[in-house]
Chain A
Amino acid sequence: MSALLQATDLRRRFGGLMAVCDVSIEVRPGEIMGLIGPNGAGKTTFFNLLTGMTRADSGTVVFDGHDVTRARPEAIARLGLARTFQNIRLFGGLTLMDNVRVAGRVQARHGLLSGLCFTPGSRREDEAVTEEAYGLLRLVGLEDRADHLAASLPYGDRRRLEIARALALTPKLLLLDEPAAGLNPSEKLGLADFIRDIKERFDLTVLLIEHNVPMVMGLCDRVMVLNFGQTIAVGAPEDVQRDPGVIEAYLGGDAHGAA
């Protein structure tokens, strides 16, 4: 089967620092792939390159048959590539409902003018988006706070809202940047089940960055390891775990989350 996402030799330098150095990845439809590596390995930068938020110095990204190397973030998102952020970025001054509706509206065909003219089409579209958003809030268990401001949520709930918002884009590929960070152990367990559940339910492909090694091993079909901006291993979780280079990287580094 051909890859859903194919990045080739992506490179990005920040001043003298080579944050991502000729990294390639192939994400196959329907899989859950893990991206691990010590802090500062370039994982988040790699996500930013894939989603158009950081320009690549060189390399190419092909998503679902489209070359998106130079595309704007919103164009990539509309093709069905959704993401969450390591340092959660919600629309704090908007309600939970509106956070989700923003993304749900993006595929809408009725624009400013038909909305201002109260056309029936735009009303129906708004209603459909609202209904879908409500369903997503229910899925993450936040429906009873639909009209609260996102900024009022506690940390764990923010992560869930951010995932609901990403799902509202009806993505084909979901990128999760450290979704378990800051969650307590029982929340972490729940998260792995939740990711598996939404993957089935929405027919998703998932690429996630995660430090929590047991979670990655249990959840992912394949794992790729970055260190100092370079790929040092890629393969099945148990093979990667035994890879001498990977053990070296984790024990030699700050041993963050090492198994």
Chain B
Amino acid sequence: MSGFFENYGFLIVTIVQQALLGLSIYFPLMAGQLSLASIGFYSLGGYVAAIMGTHPALAPLREALGFWMFPLEWLGALVLSVILGIAVGYPALRLRGIYLALATVAFVQVVNVAVLNMPIAGGAVGIFGIPQAFESRLDYIWFFGPLFFFALFLVWRIGNMGRGLAFFAVREDELAAGAMGVATTGNKVTAFVLGCALAGVTGAMSAPFLNTWNARQGTFDASVTCLAYVLIGGSRSIWGPLCGAALLVSLPELLRPLKDSRMILNGVVLVAACVYLPQGIMGGLAALRARLSGRGGAA
């Protein structure tokens, strides 16, 4: 058992960390908004933590707070993400569908270029030697795990309380939602900002976890990977992002014995998932369950 965790512990923590990013895309999707901005907020949240964790001017604060410096970093990332999320959300969410997705990709690029040119962010090399919260990387599950369950709780609760219906109404038909008194813009921005905040805090937890932080954390590739977690896992189930992250993070590792051909097989699995499971893994499972119970009822 201990051998298992030594071998796969890092992988498991990474899966949860990536699933958090998947969930951050899931929030705006609840209100029907396809946003790829998460990675930008993840990157910024990481920089907030990296700067707060290493900047010489903050040394007395770190000394005084000790471990509590980490929650303070999360708070910093949270506040920045919410403010920036509102500022970006209001204009961006006037766009729909693919145009919104493109605008949020542009936002990620702007963040990238901006941090590359900010001396405080360490330029292209980024920030090194970020203080660790735990001795073992595995212990970071104590950061990501509770955040993941909190985010799952939020998604579940929003889906089950009356107030959450406003999000789904906007997703189903924005015009009709407005005619039924739902504040469409406000709900879209709220769902978007929830996703931004989650991505930002995840970034702030990830900076110490990864030890270094640089502009490569916030690339277009990473945005698309996050979206793939949701699409492959299933965009209508709260477990979809976790499923997708588990598959996409672990697949290259599990296929490692295949050496060079593993990336080909990796790609084949992804294409097959898209073709045969258009509703994602969770959607496929739901369909399977429906079919099995239907057969059981007929027998």
Contact = CB atoms under 8 A, between A and B. Distances in A.
A116 B168 contact: no
B168 A112 contact: no
Interface stretch (A6-14, A19-27, A99-107, A195-203): A99-107
A125 B181 contact: no
Interface in B148-173: 154, 157-158, 161-166, 168-169, 171-173
A210 interface: no
Interface in A108-148: 108, 110-112, 115-116, 122, 125-126, 129-130
Contacts of B190: 112
Contacts of B168: 91, 93-94, 98, 102
A53 B173 contact: no
Contacts of B163: 105, 108, 110-112, 115, 122
Contacts of B158: 112, 115-116
B177 interface: yes
Contacts of A126: 161-162
| Size bracket, chain B contacts | 20 to 34
B180 A102 contact: yes
A89 B165 contact: no
B102 interface: no
A83 interface: yes
B183 interface: yes
A92 interface: yes
Instruction: From B168, B169, B190, name the one whose CB has the most chain A CB atoms within 10 angstroms.
Output: B169
B91 interface: no
Please indicate which of the listed interface residues B154, B161, B164, B190 has the most CB atoms of chain A within 10 Å of its own CB: B161
A71 to B, nearest CB: 11
Contacts of A74: 177-178, 180-184
B165 A122 contact: no
Contacts of A256: none
A111 B161 CA distance: 10
Contacts of A250: none
A102 B161 contact: no
Interface string B172-196: 1101111111111000001000000
Interface of B: 154, 157-158, 161-166, 168-169, 171-173, 175-184, 190
Given A53-B179, A93-B168, A116-B157, 19 more contacts: A53-B178, A72-B183, A73-B179, A74-B177, A77-B178, A91-B172, A92-B173, A102-B168, A102-B169, A102-B177, A103-B180, A105-B163, A107-B181, A110-B163, A112-B163, A115-B158, A116-B158, A129-B162, A130-B162
